[in-house]
């Protein structure tokens, strides 16, 4: 893709859906679909970075995915291990900062160590931030932010009158990251699935029938063109924003 991202887009978030169906359509085990999903993730990180997007947040394991068969969970954990082991060096060199959002409780020790390593070794990078939502749920995020605010109030650090949108938002896992202007979901499903519940309140949603392993620069470009065609009103009327 040659042109730069529209100026207004700093943050894109993606529900990478359809790995299983992609594999099934081709008679492959689901694992193959997930592996191709990792390749699509690599392409997307590079494409976003190249066009000047600052933040990319990807949903790679939801708090609901624990309900999947043990074999599938183990495959998804395996992929995260593989991704960090294979890509960390390149991500570091390419100026990518890796951040992991989600609940860390209940994750295997080696995964925790790997996530920490990825975060620590890339924390000096500032060119591009890749947020990996792992063991993530938007409602869990809101609950943990509430707990954190209540704990502050109990310590006398904040009064209830000081709790506004900004104070609340700063307790969320994405903290000071700007809210995503564009949210993408692949595979023809029209659901939010507990992703970016707070942060997506005014995002433009772009749904595509493409299955995640097929997602590429062209698909990203279509999402950006779609965004460019939308008038973002934030509750105002058209004349006010024009």
What is the number of other CB atoms lying within 10 angstroms of the CB of residue 229?
8
**In the annotation, is 17 catalytic?**
yes
**CB 61, min distance to ligand FPP, A:** 6
Residue with CB nearest ligand FPP? 20
Nearer to ligand FPP, 72 or 169 (CB): 72
DSSP-assigned letters across all residues of 170-209: TTSTTTTSPPPSEEEE-TT----TTSSTTTTTTPEEEE-S
Which residues, at least 6 apart from 166, have a Cβ–Cβ distance to it below 8 Å? Answer: none
**CB 76, min distance to ligand FPP, A:** 6
What is the number of other CB atoms lying within 10 angstroms of the CB of residue 163?
16
**CB 234, min distance to ligand FPP, A:** 31
CA torsion, ordered 231, 234, 240, 242, to nearest 10 deg? -20
Burial class from Cβ neighbours inside 10 Å (0-12, 13-18, 19+) for residue 158 reads: middle
Q: Which one from 17, 87, 135, 179 is the annotated catalytic residue? A: 17
Nearer to ligand FPP, 157 or 189 (CB): 189
**CB 176, min distance to ligand FPP, A:** 22
Give residues in contact with ligand FPP (CB under 6 A): 16-21, 34, 37-38, 41, 60, 65, 76, 79-80, 83, 132, 187, 212
Nearer to ligand FPP, 180 or 213 (CB): 213
Which residues, at least 6 apart from 187, have a Cβ–Cβ distance to it below 8 Å? Answer: 17, 18, 21, 209, 210, 211, 212
**In the annotation, is 65 catalytic?**
yes
**CB 119, min distance to ligand FPP, A:** 13
Q: Say how many Å lie between the first and final Cα of the chain, rounded.
A: 29
Q: Six-digit token pair at 28?
A: 């492959």
Nearer to ligand FPP, 56 or 145 (CB): 56
Q: Which one from 19, 50, 65, 176 is the annotated catalytic residue? A: 65
According to DSSP, the β-strands at 96-101 and 11-15 are: unpaired
Cβ-contact 22, 40 below 8 angstroms: no
Nearer to ligand FPP, 128 or 171 (CB): 128
Active site residues: 17, 65
């Amino acid at each position: 893709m040659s042109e730069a991202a529209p100026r207004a887009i700093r943050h894109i978030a993606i529900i990478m859906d359809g790995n299983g169906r992609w594999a099934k359509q081709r008679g492959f085990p689901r694992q193959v679909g997930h592996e191709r999903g990792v390749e699509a993730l690599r392409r997307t990180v590079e494409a976003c970075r190249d066009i000047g997007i600052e933040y990319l947040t990807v949903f790679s394991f939801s708090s609901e995915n624990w309900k999947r068969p043990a074999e599938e969970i183990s495959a998804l954990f395996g992929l995260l291990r593989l991704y960090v082991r294979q890509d960390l060096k390149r991500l570091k060199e390419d100026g990518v900062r890796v951040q992991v959002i989600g609940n860390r409780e209940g994750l295997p020790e080696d995964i925790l160590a790997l996530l920490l390593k990825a975060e620590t070794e890339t924390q000096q990078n500032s060119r591009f931030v890749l947020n990996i939502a792992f063991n993530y749920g938007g409602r869990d995020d809101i609950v943990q932010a509430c707990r954190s605010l209540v704990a502050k109030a109990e310590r006398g650090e904040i009064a209830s009158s000081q709790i506004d949108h900004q104070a609340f938002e700063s307790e969320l896992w994405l903290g000071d990251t700007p809210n995503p202007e564009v949210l993408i979901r692949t595979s023809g499903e029209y659901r939010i699935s507990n992703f970016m519940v707070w942060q997506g309140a005014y995002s433009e949603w772009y749904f595509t029938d493409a299955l995640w392993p097929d997602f590429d620069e062209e698909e990203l470009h279509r999402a950006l063109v779609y965004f460019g065609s939308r008038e973002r009103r934030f509750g105002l009327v058209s004349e006010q924003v024009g």
